[in-house]
Amino acid sequence: MLYFQLTLWDTGGMERMSFIGQSYYRGAHAALLCYSMTNKETFAILSQYILDIVMNAEGAKIFLCGNFADCESSDRVNETDIENFTRECGNVLSGSYQVSCKDRTGVTEMFTDMARVLHRENAKKMTLRNDLIRPGETPDQIEEYHKKKCCTSA
């Protein structure tokens, strides 16, 4: 079994957070963009966030999360809206989910799928760098190895 630590930064859709730009996204492996399925306005601004991520977090995987999947509304984001948006984004998106935090529907599955995608991507990068972790190696041993490799003089 693999364990992952996910660090989530919640901007709550605050546009005042946009000033941090590149420094905010630096080093991010993924972005989870949440919108309310009961409010199309929150869905409509996703493209701007995606553009910011693509411009400032090269290689980050982008996931969409429609919350309030259990609620009805006259302003509801429907399946057609989601399919059209996903198609317009092409291969920029790594996943799209509909969840309910109230009854926890889809939440575990979403985070599990995100971890799988990130693990698969990380495994590819490690293989490409020829930097494979040996079975039984601890995070401290890996870090020590990289320090020695980085700081050795020729």
Q: What percent of the chain has pLDDT over 70?
A: 68
Residue 21 in domain: no
pTM: 0.73
The three-class DSSP label of residue 27 is coil
pLDDT at residue 96, as a whole number = 95
Range of 146's domain? 27-151
Residue 13 in domain: no
Least confident stretch, 11-20, 48-57, 77-86, 119-128: 11-20
Per-position DSSP letters for 39-72, written without gaps between them? -HHHHHTHHHHHHHHHHHSTT-EEEEEEE-TT--
Residue 19 in domain: no
Residue 81 in domain: yes
How many distinct structural domains can be found in the chain? Answer: 1
Residue 132 in domain: yes
Query: pLDDT (tens digit, 9 = 90+) per residue, 58-75?
Result: 889 999 999 999 998 888
pLDDT at residue 123, as a whole number = 72
Contact yes or no for 90/62 (Cβ under 8 A): no
Length of the chain (residues):
154
Asked if pLDDT for residue 154 goes beyond 60, the answer is: no
Nearest to 96 by CA among 80, 114, 118: 114
Residue 45 in domain: yes
Query: pLDDT (tens digit, 9 = 90+) per residue, 100-153?
Result: 989 999 999 999 999 999 988 877 665 544 455 555 566 566 566 656 555 555
Residue 3 in domain: no
Q: What is the CATH number of the domain that holds 42?
A: 3.40.50.300
Residue 103 in domain: yes
